[in-house]
Structure 1
Amino acid sequence: MTLAELRRKLAELDHLPGDTIVILSKDAGGNGFSPLYEVDPSMYHAETEWSGERYMTEATRQAQADPNAYTKAPSHAMPALCLWPIH
């Protein structure tokens, strides 16, 4: 899903109250759920059609006390939003 697709889906829900909780599924089978904790601009490198690795953006990596302690995103990684659950 792209950000544009997510925006369209969220626009369809603008009738819901602002305090409606957002939860994330643990997996595609719905084997657990957790509330959304954080939205993090990131970089994503797909390893397969359904999984891959998340990296900090270069700006975020450079802002760390020791940027070299964090792996630089591969050149073919793409910008992404990482949605983090509470658990």
Structure 2
Amino acid sequence: MATKLIAYDLNSPGQKYDDLIDAIKGLGAWWHHLDSTWLVRTSSSAEEVRDKLKKYIDNGDELLVVDVTGDSRAWCGFKESGSKWLKETWD
């Protein structure tokens, strides 16, 4: 398993986030404390995650998927629940 950072901008007016959010949550254990940014533990590659999610966005939207597994991480300002997930899950 690896941790993927998923970020998106849905630029088209009237976007429905529900299907995209459900698809992200279905990938594995997730963390979501920033508006359009998620961390997800998944065995899927970044390309596989992109391909699973791109059907939920429009042509003018943007999607970024990055494998962020590793030792380099730092954060501040999150509630305890957000920090706890990061400490326990992100490796």
Give the TM-score category using the shorter length. under 0.3
Compute the TM-score of the two structures, normalised by the length of structure 1.
0.25
Report which structure shows greater RCO (CA 8 Å, sep ≥6).
2
Compute the TM-score of the two structures, normalised by the length of structure 2.
0.24
Indicate the structure (1 or 2) with the bigger Cα radius of gyration: 1
Structure with greater proportional helix content = 2
